[in-house]
Amino acid sequence: MTLTQRTSYPEKGETHFAFDVAAPVSFALRVRWPWWATKGASVKVNRQPFKADKDSGGYVVINRKWRKGDVVDVDFPMSLYTESMPDNKNRVAMLYGPLVLAGNLGDTMPDPVYGAPVLLTDDRNAAHWAVADAQQPLLFHMKEVGKPFNVDLSPFYTNIDNYYGVYWDFFTNEEWASRQAEYEAEKKHQQEVEAGTIDVMRLGEMQPERDHHLQASEFSYVSDAFGRTGREARKNGFFSFDMKVQPGVNNALLCTYIGDDKQRVFDIYVDDVKVGTQELKGGVSGKFFDVEYPIPADLIKDKTRVVVRVQGVEGKTAGRMFACRTIRK
């Protein structure tokens, strides 16, 4: 017996089976009924409707005597829906059948606060405001729901050379107003940081690391996230680098991390004096954040340069750290 299957899956939920048997033979053909097929199934045997029911194992069972030329057509219609994060019902991923959809955010690094839209709607039914493209399969267009802009959605695996978002937050109008306030506050904070910067070290970039005389233990690695490079050191490892300081004014280190990292503990030293301990417990995914470590005035008296050392403790990884600044306070 030869059984041939033809399908355009996952563009469509349809599958076609064709039988070529040397002599009639009886057996059960079992076709998995996928969990996402909540709108039922259409099954035809030799183009005639077949009552499709799931057995206890989750299969459609077609038990008959098969002959040469028999065909079976199965269709599990796909639908658009959302799934909430376990700890936040207002943060959702969008799916179509078995496919996770990602929103195209363009080929330019999005603004960390304002660069990805939120869903400003009380309607949680994605099928009402994500419209299928009339020409291109598996492409959907947000309609009058994304703020500050709508995005196109396509399967996650098709987003290769662009920035993208997978998780989306529902907001009321009042909550959206607060997000705008957050954006303005973040911009003001960045302006103040730039104005007060004495020196800046961009971890993971070759020239800045050379310029700041980077030293690192054996298991220290560079990685990137959202267009920024960072560095980490594993197994109680370390990395260190020189930084300019300005005696006579209050100085501090301002170090940048990302909310995706967790279960990491490390100490921060300035000229072999510990100025802080940092534990990364995980935070907002995809969001960079800064932590400030004051530098004692007597530690930089009569100095213009110090060595900053990031040292892992308790067998944990040190970092990732994406940037470090010395700033005036």
Three-class SS of residue 156?
Answer: helix
Find residue 92's DSSP bridge partners. Answer: 84, 168
Q: What is the pLDDT of residue 112?
A: 65
Q: Which pair of tokens denotes residue 125?
A: 């039914």
Q: Which pair of tokens denotes residue 144?
A: 């009058």
Mean pLDDT of the chain: 92
Q: What is the pLDDT of residue 183?
A: 72
Asked if residue 208 lies in contact with residue 201, where contact means CB atoms within 8 angstroms, the answer is yes
| Cα–Cα distance measured from residue 132 to residue 135, given in angstroms and rounded to the nearest whole number | 9
Find residue 64's DSSP bridge partners. Answer: 27
Round to the nearest angstrom and report the end-to-end CA distance of the chain. 80
Instruction: Give pLDDT tens digits for 135-190.
Output: 999 999 999 999 889 999 999 999 998 999 999 988 888 888 877 787 778 878 88
Residue that the structure tokens 């304002």 belong to: 114
Q: What is the DSSP letter of 303?
A: -
Residue by residue, DSSP assigns 20-63 as: E-SS-EEEEEEEE--TT-TT--EEEETTEEE---B-TTSEEEEE
Instruction: Give pLDDT tens digits for 34-43.
Output: 999 998 899 9
User: By C-alpha distance, which of 324, 264, 265, 257 is closest to 295?
Assistant: 324
Q: Exposed, middle or buried by CB within 10 Å (0-12, 13-18, 19+), for 168?
A: buried
